[in-house]
Amino acid sequence: MTAGDDLMPFLLAAMNWRDDGRWDAASVLATPDLAHYVTGWMRSGDAGVIAIEEGMPAGAAWWRYSSSVSPGYGYVADDVPELGMAVLEPFRRRGAAGALLDALIARARGESLRAVSLSVEDGNDVARLLYERRGFVRCGRVGDSDVLLLTLG
């Protein structure tokens, strides 16, 4: 990913995983706890990958660092970036999510990160299974979501 890539469609896909359309760009930007996931993309330390299918951006996986002053839902520590990811509806169930996650984890290992974290809501069993198969384990809870951590060797 580059600074020119728009994370908003992917954040919206992640936020609206129930396909309820509850979140739109305006409501995300008006919610500080969510806006910090996209505002100022790409800061120093941010990284991500995009899946292209049929010549279109189909999905993305990225990480951002946050701090204890302004933590994300999957915050663990200042030196552990939080992952976000989503595959857009027309491209789901084709293996893109696994490929994106694997690519981002490989990049994290290549950059010698000690760990990465994320948040997964109750009921999002498909995503939870994907993360657990990659070695993420529950390390906390925020609201109706588990915080998962992948410790990197």
User: For the chain, what percent of residues have pLDDT higher than 90?
Assistant: 48
Residue in the block written with tokens 């991500």: 48
Q: Is 45 helix (H, G, I), strand (E, B) or coil?
A: coil
Q: Is 63 helix (H, G, I), strand (E, B) or coil?
A: strand
Between 141 and 32, residue with greater pLDDT:
141
Between 17 and 110, residue with greater pLDDT:
110
Q: What's the pLDDT band for 119 if we cut at 50, 70, 90?
A: very high
Domains contained in the chain, number: 1
| DSSP assignment of 80-110 | SPEEEEEE-GGG-SSSHHHHHHHHHHHHHHH
Residue 132 has pLDDT above 90, yes or no: yes
Residue 66 forms part of a structural domain? yes
Nearest of 95, 84, 11 to residue 53 by alpha carbon: 95
pLDDT of residue 150: 98
pLDDT of residue 115: 98
The domain containing residue 101 runs over which residues?
Answer: 8-113
pLDDT of residue 16: 74
Residue 84 forms part of a structural domain? yes
Between 86 and 146, residue with greater pLDDT:
146
Q: What is the pLDDT of residues 46-96, one digit of tens each?
A: 999 999 888 888 899 999 998 888 888 899 999 999 999 988 888 888 888
pLDDT of residue 148: 97
Distance CA 148, CA 150 (A): 7
Global pTM reads 0.87
Distance CA 100, CA 147 (A): 19
Residue 16 forms part of a structural domain? yes
Q: What's the pLDDT band for 15 if we cut at 50, 70, 90?
A: confident
Residue 138 forms part of a structural domain? no
Distance CA 99, CA 153 (A): 20
Report the CATH number that the domain containing residue 60 is assigned in CATH: 3.40.630
